[in-house]
Structure 1
Amino acid sequence: MKKVFLAAAMLLAATSFTGYNTANAAVIVKAGGRHIPASQVPAPVLATFNSTFPTATNVKWQVEREHGQVVYQADFVQNGQRWRAQFSADGTLLSAGPR
């Protein structure tokens, strides 16, 4: 009987992923965020970032949803220290500081 339940559970798990559409994966914003290239960051966000952190290096971007709002997050190195900054889509700096 245990084997039947195990087989049914495995079948259910295997078929639950068949309906996922990978074509829409690029527009899904997960709670934990997803990495994006700088080319997908809105121009106002890049402008604010570049003017606020002109010496930043090794910049990595993420997009996530917080409290129903899309937030762009930059992780980067500034003066030898790791930093994180968050921006709204219109380029407003929401938070910044060393990590």
Structure 2
Amino acid sequence: MQHDQQAQRQAWIEALAQLRQQGAIDADDENTLIRHMDERLEAVQAELKALVPEYERRVETDGRGAADAWLGERSREMGEREGSDARRMVDSLTSVQASVT
């Protein structure tokens, strides 16, 4: 799993380098995107890990179906929040701001 994450991170960094070489983003934007991805990956992993005890408790008390529904709702909320955060970050990039003006 760790190897997959490292490979995905490396692919992400290489894709950003290509965008920078093509002039789509500058070095500051590239660094911002890398930093954002690293921070969000860490935060999401921690949040998912924190859900495990509650999920297991719900399986025991409410059954797997109810626990799965609860987990699905938490996952949807996380996805929406992460999407909104990513959109705000992308909108703040220098290259995006330059294209708006």
TM range (shorter): under 0.3
More helix by share: 2
Decide which structure has greater strand share. Answer: 1
Q: What is the TM-score of this pair, normalised by structure 1?
A: 0.24
Larger relative contact order (C-alpha < 8 A, sep ≥ 6)? 2
